[in-house]
Amino acid sequence: MTSVTEFDYCVVGGGLQGCLLAHALAWHQPEATVLLLERADELCGNHTWSFHETDVAEQARSWFDPLVAHRWPGYRVRFPTLSRRVGISYATITSDRLREATLSLAGGVGGAARPGRLVVRTGESCEILSPTAVRLGGTADVSCRAVLDCRGRAEAGSPGGAGYQTFIGHEYETARPWPASEPTVMNVPADQAAGFEFLYELPLGPERVLLEYTRFHEEPACDESRAASLISARLAEADAGSAKLIRTERGCLPMPYTAAARREGPSPAGGYAGGWYHAATGYSMPLAVRFAELVARACPDRVAAEVASAAAEDRLRRGFARFLNRLLFCLVRPEDRWKIFQRFYRVLPEERIARFYAHRFTFTDAARIMIGWPPMGLAPIRFARSFVSLPGPLPT
């Protein structure tokens, strides 16, 4: 085994959380040496990470804002019996933008460690040996003052009780301008027989749009033909001329209703690995930015304690988000799930919506989300069973 360069921080995983952390560290601790390790050949994968601008605290703006690729002053939601514009600014970070910004912070992939310099290594899987050491591709050990686990979701093993959010997104260049200038984050068709499903629409430029089919279901599989038919129906309705497909993204995100969906490891974990994501919306950005700020403002020797204490403070909110998932996936029948989201957007004012997405909701926000007429079509026996039979999806 060869070794051993010392760094202040080793960040394992160069996805959303790892790269945000690299930027926060560069801003708050410009003298710190940081090694960012990614097992894929490139950082950041292939994503469009959207968020409400109110998700990001003022204090994080200076390092975060340059990463934003697109911004809109508001967005729409469309349900069978409700259409609403929400005047909360909405924005997106793309994998391309985040990768480029992270590499430029580092001066490229590889390179030597010196104060103030980020070192990026890709194409090597890495093992976390202890809170202060990692092993690179089985060949070299690196020691540091703090290892941060940003390895995302573990592939192996069941997340315990969970529903799933599956996506297929197609980005198009259109011959004529796209008719909407703001996103539609939920365009819910009347036919909801297959579970809660909708089209997500992001106009990324006058003649560029991302159309993403999304389904909330107890199974992780995506219905490709349903996705294709909803996307082509929207393209036809938009009447924007011929549409050239330029990128596809797809994925599946567990929406846990038990507390089991996290990696176990010796070092503090952020992002999906550490439960720093919003279990009820699937958005990672609010908590990933919070984690990055928290770590970058602590000194390396205090990171583990600060992360544990912040996670403990957020415990009730995380529990409530999982409880909402349990209601959604276990109590409400698939064909009636859309009513929950329609009601959310019908009754909540913008401040409550903003706090909910930002994972900063209060007790009264939680009460307001819960109080009201329950929807038709509940499955109480199934709900009761969800507390005792956790492995595998529940029958619908």
Ligand X SMILES: Cc1cc2nc3c(=O)[nH]c(=O)nc-3n(C[C@H](O)[C@H](O)[C@H](O)COP(=O)(O)OP(=O)(O)OC[C@H]3O[C@@H](n4cnc5c(N)ncnc54)[C@H](O)[C@@H]3O)c2cc1C
12 binds ligand X (CB under 6 A): yes
Q: Among 7, 9, 51, 90, which residue interacts with ligand X (rule: CB under 6 A)?
A: 51
Q: Among residues 257 and 283, whose Cβ is nearest to ligand X? A: 283
Q: Among 10, 148, 273, 331, which residue interacts with ligand X (rule: CB under 6 A)?
A: 273
Q: Among 63, 72, 79, 167, which residue interacts with ligand X (rule: CB under 6 A)?
A: 167
126 binds ligand X (CB under 6 A): yes
Q: Among 37, 133, 354, 379, which residue interacts with ligand X (rule: CB under 6 A)?
A: 37
Cα 99 from Cα 20, distance rounded (Å): 10
What does the per-residue mask of binding to ligand X show for 335-374, with x meaning CB under 6 A? Answer: ----------------------------------------
Side chain identity at residue 137, one-letter code:
G
267 binds ligand X (CB under 6 A): no
Shortest spacing between CB 267 and ligand X, in angstroms: 12
Q: Among 9, 49, 172, 291, which residue interacts with ligand X (rule: CB under 6 A)?
A: 49
Residue nearest ligand X by beta-carbon distance: 15
Cα 180 from Cα 178, distance rounded (Å): 6
152 binds ligand X (CB under 6 A): yes
Shortest spacing between CB 382 and ligand X, in angstroms: 26
266 binds ligand X (CB under 6 A): no
272 binds ligand X (CB under 6 A): yes
280 binds ligand X (CB under 6 A): no
Cα 383 from Cα 327, distance rounded (Å): 7
Q: What are phi and psi of 383, to 5 degrees?
A: -60, -45
Contact of 298 with 29, CB cutoff 8 Å? no
Q: Among 28, 47, 208, 318, which residue interacts with ligand X (rule: CB under 6 A)?
A: 47
Q: Among residues 273 and 331, whose Cβ is nearest to ligand X? A: 273
Shortest spacing between CB 357 and ligand X, in angstroms: 10
By the 10 Å C-beta count (0-12 exposed, 13-18 middle, 19+ buried), 114 is classed as: exposed
The residues binding ligand X (CB under 6 A) are 12-18, 37-40, 45, 47, 49-51, 125-126, 150-152, 167, 249, 251, 253, 271-273, 277, 282-285
